[in-house]
Amino acid sequence: MAGAGNGSPEMNVPLTVKSTGTAASVKVAPGGKAWVKLTFVQVQGEGDGYCVSGSAPVVYPTMVVQLPGSGAHQMALDDGQFAECDDTVTVTTVSTVKLS
């Protein structure tokens, strides 16, 4: 998992990935869907936000996500950018059931 600086995969910034749940193989039928939930360390405050840890907040226009056996995929939010602290993301296990 990486933040894509300026939306460009060539400027990726690797993120520390913390996994939750028990890993297991998930089969997805052709044309099927699978989900993971990504949770970032939240930027506090408005506009000129800050990180509780004291690190500087980072904003990425896109993220590059790679799952075993599926290659890397660049994604963007429909309504903004990814803002995070500490270059860390928590990731759930892959599920064929949409996560809330």
Per-residue confidence in pLDDT tens, the chain, 100 aa: 888 877 677 778 899 999 998 888 888 888 888 888 999 999 998 768 999 999 999 988 889 888 777 788 888 889 888 889 999 999 998 888 888 7
CA-based nearest residue to 53, from 86, 83, 18, 20: 86
Secondary structure string (H, E, C) spanning the chain? CEEEHHHCHHHEEECEEEECCCCCCCCCCCCCCCECCEEEECCECCCCCECCCCCCCEEECEEEEEECCCEEEEECECCECEEEEEEEEEECCCECCCCC
What's the confidence (pLDDT) of residue 45?
85
